[in-house]
Amino acid sequence: MQTLQKILPKYTIALGIVFLATVIYLVTRGNTVVVEAHPVKKMELAQAVYATGYVDADAMADLRSEISGTIGFVGAHEGEWVDKGSTILVFDERRLQLAVEEAKAAYAEQRSETYDLRARRKRSRNLFRAGAIARQELDDAEKEYTQAMKLLQQRELQLKSRQDDLKKQVVTAPIAGVLTLQEAKIGDYIVANTLVARVIDTTSYIVNVEVDELDVPRLKTGQPATVALDALPEKRFSSSVARVVPQTDRITKTSKVFLALDEYVESIQVGMTATANIIYNVQEGALLVPKSSVFEEARQNYVWKIEKRRLKKQRIVTGASDIRYVEILDGLSEGDSVVVKQEEKFKEGMEAKIRADRAD
């Protein structure tokens, strides 16, 4: 019995120590947070306008058939390079050649008749001056010649029209480039005004993007831009503003801006989806923090500053920003550290344990 009495106080003390340690652990564990920190430092701030669009070409020609007829010859196919003036399609329409021959014959016949009437008019004038014929007969000769001349002019116009139609049998490339459309085959019947071919000069690629009307005043020709293509997600292409169209769409409230690529890019095609960041201002030595670190309360901006390994809710005044960073005008100094992303559980004075693998 005496032995038990001697042992109990020792167990009581041990249990008290364990309990106290557990309480301390639970309290301190709830007052510690693991955070990702970012140093406040001076960097280059590049402000940019974000825009979306597609790859376009400055030199592109749609060719339409000017006559209806059957295809008799195919000179080039889709995907092939053609030179300026190359024959793409020829219509096999013998009726056009026949129409030209008929128009030539009609013109020659009318010209011969007109020459005869001109000679007759000359004789009639001489006879009238000699008093050999009446005035009416001279007037008739003059009238017949005038009508013949009008008809000769009509025949000449008809011949020219038939000859022009004959030239329309041949569809040629107005520019050098690649055929991106040409599906006609020998024997196909094509109706007039049908789109039969498209030629694109692949050296004239340009990026056509839509810019919000609020951002348009910031842009001007020559500004640098970075272009990304959905088809080539791992690459970025340097470009510059080539043209800003001075017109805003009433529905979309956007304006067209054309970006010229600095270098020719393999594998791109007209119509590919593109995104662009057009840089309109570069500020050197700006004091920056990640955008994700800034939060707002009561219309004031704050960050969680890490001071002596504890969280401090720091009020800040912000300035310009880009896609990732925001400028700090007041409230922080170079070398301070802030939490990259605030959480609802953060409280003033909490111990901040910085992730070693993510800290700068």
- Distance, in Å, from the CA atom of 37 to the CA atom of 60, rounded to the nearest integer, reads 52
- Distance, in Å, from the CA atom of 282 to the CA atom of 44, rounded to the nearest integer, reads 7
Question: Please, which pLDDT band fits residue 130 given cuts at 50, 70 and 90?
Answer: confident
Both structure tokens of 71: 């295809």
pLDDT recorded at residue 16: 57
Burial of 56 by CB count in 10 Å (0-12 exposed, 13-18 middle, 19+ buried)? buried
- Distance, in Å, from the CA atom of 73 to the CA atom of 92, rounded to the nearest integer, reads 7
Q: Is the pLDDT of residue 279 over 60?
A: yes
- Collapsing DSSP to helix, strand or coil, 131 comes out as coil
Which are the contacts of 165, defined by CB distance < 8 A and separation ≥ 6?
67, 96, 99, 100
How far does Cα 96 stand from its chain's mean position?
Answer: 43
Averaged pLDDT for residues 256-269? 92
Averaged pLDDT for residues 162-186? 90
Q: Is the pLDDT of residue 360 over 50?
A: no
The DSSP call for residue 291 is: G
Averaged pLDDT for residues 328-352? 90
Q: Is the pLDDT of residue 69 over 70?
A: yes
Task: Evaluate whether 41 touches 334 at the Cβ level (below 8 Å).
Answer: yes
- Distance, in Å, from the CA atom of 181 to the CA atom of 89, rounded to the nearest integer, reads 12
Q: What is the pLDDT of residues 35-57, one digit of tens each?
A: 899 999 999 888 899 999 999 99
Question: Please, which pLDDT band fits residue 359 given cuts at 50, 70 and 90?
Answer: very low
- Distance, in Å, from the CA atom of 205 to the CA atom of 210, rounded to the nearest integer, reads 17
pLDDT recorded at residue 128: 85
- Concatenate the DSSP letters of all residues of 190-226 into one string: E-TT-EEEEEE-GGGEEEEEEEETTTGGG--TT-EEE
Q: In Å, what is the CA distance from 197 to each residue of 72, 86, 90, 221? A: 16, 12, 12, 33
Q: Is the pLDDT of residue 176 over 90?
A: yes
Sheet of 170-172, strand order: 170-172, 87-91, 69-74, 189-190
pLDDT recorded at residue 10: 55
Give me the half-sphere count of Cα atoms (radius 13 Å) on the Cβ side of residue 152: 17
Question: Please, which pLDDT band fits residue 20 given cuts at 50, 70 and 90?
Answer: low
- Distance, in Å, from the CA atom of 103 to the CA atom of 162, rounded to the nearest integer, reads 7
Positive or negative, the CA dihedral 55, 60, 65, 70 is negative
Q: What is the pLDDT of residues 80-127, one digit of tens each?
A: 999 999 999 999 878 778 888 999 999 999 999 999 999 999 998 988
Radius of gyration of the chain (CA): 43
CATH 2.40.30.30 fits 49-59+203-282, yes or no: no
Question: Please, which pLDDT band fits residue 25 given cuts at 50, 70 and 90?
Answer: very low
- Distance, in Å, from the CA atom of 247 to the CA atom of 196, rounded to the nearest integer, reads 32
How far does Cα 273 stand from its chain's mean position?
Answer: 7
* CB neighbours of residue 96 within 10 Å: 18
Strand 32-35 and strand 351-354: pairing? Answer: parallel
Q: What CATH class has 62-93+169-200?
A: mainly beta
- Proportion of the chain above pLDDT 70, given as a percent: 90
Region of poorest pLDDT, from 27-36, 138-147, 277-286: 27-36
Averaged pLDDT for residues 145-154? 93
Please name the helix (run of DSSP H) or strand (run of DSSP E) that holds residue 163, with its range, or none.
helix 135-167
- Mean pLDDT of the residues in the chain: 88
Question: Please, which pLDDT band fits residue 273 given cuts at 50, 70 and 90?
Answer: very high
pLDDT recorded at residue 56: 96
CATH 1.10.287 fits 95-167, yes or no: yes
Q: Higher pLDDT residue, 47 or 206?
A: 206
Q: Is the pLDDT of residue 5 over 60?
A: no
Domain residue spans of the chain: 49-59+203-282, 62-93+169-200, 95-167
- Collapsing DSSP to helix, strand or coil, 143 comes out as helix
pLDDT recorded at residue 174: 94
Given its phi and psi angles, is residue 55 left (phi above 0), alpha (psi -120 to 50 degrees) or beta?
Answer: beta
- Distance, in Å, from the CA atom of 334 to the CA atom of 317, rounded to the nearest integer, reads 15
- Collapsing DSSP to helix, strand or coil, 15 comes out as helix
Give me the half-sphere count of Cα atoms (radius 13 Å) on the Cβ side of residue 46: 9
